[in-house]
Structure 1
Amino acid sequence: MGVILIGMPGIEKRLARYPQLYSRVGFAHEYRSLRSDELTAVVTQRLPAPDPGDSGLAHTAALAAIVRATNGNFRLADRLVTQIRRVLDINGHTHLTPEAVDAAQEALLIGH
């Protein structure tokens, strides 16, 4: 059975302290951060559609805030999107807003 370990840069060096485990590591690969267009494409698939009433301005501003806050870090973006969806559900909102992003960031202690 194959297992994928995802962690901080240098995790393979930390695993080297445990020879029985490290001898079973096939390879280590460091992923680069996502570009803003890649991150936007990924995040857009998981968030509600823009509000047609504001010409998508709030949606665009919210996506830009997500890109700035996560700096291309996929794991952080995933956590933030999950929290944004919770904030929207709790407040009964159906469209993404910069305020929802701010609330999610504060809940996760990201940025600011």
Structure 2
Amino acid sequence: MQQTPQLYSRIGFPHEYRPLRSDELTAVVTQRLPSPDPADDGLAHTAALAAIVRTTNGNFRLADRLVTQIRRVLDINGHTHLTPEAVDAAQEALLIGR
């Protein structure tokens, strides 16, 4: 952190956070996303959660941004359930690689 003294002087101490485990990340994002569609037994929801975990690789900040964008995509399109297509659209909007 000493390479950037101006930034270092504004931060009390550096701290590196470990990536969230997939179960931790799933628990966090599930709270912020719509419930599964009972018509498909939640298969689309499960596939979408797996895509989120795979894409973010446990990075909470990225997951937070992605979930916000997913909710925006769902709202714009009038959807009430999470789908892998909504995750794909959110990834594209945020320019997140696959």
Identify which of 25, 28, 46 aligns with 1:60.
46
Task: Extract unaligned runs of 5+ from structure 2.
Answer: none
Q: Which residue of 2 aligns with 1:87?
A: 73
- Normalized against structure 1, the TM-score is what? 0.81
Question: How many residues are matched?
Answer: 98
1:35-72: CA deviations, max 9, x gaps? 10000000000000000111010000000000011000
Match of 1:18 in 2: 6
Shift of residue 75 of structure 1? 0.6
**4+ aligned runs moved over 4 Å, structure 1:** none
Q: Whole-Å Cα distance in 2 between the matches of residues 47 and 14 of structure 1?
A: 39
The two structures, once aligned, show a CA RMSD in angstroms of 1.6
Where does 1:1-112 land on structure 2 (aligned, <5 Å)? Answer: 12-15=1-4, 17-18=5-6, 22=9, 25-112=11-98
Higher RCO (C-alpha 8 Å, min separation 6): 2
SS of residue in 1 equivalent to 2:34: coil
TM-score, normalised by the number of residues in structure 2: 0.91
Q: Gapped runs of 5+ residues in structure 1?
A: 1-11
What is the percent sequence identity of the aligned residues?
Answer: 83
In 1, the alpha carbon distance for the partners of 2:85 and 2:14 equals 39
Q: Which has the larger radius of gyration?
A: 1
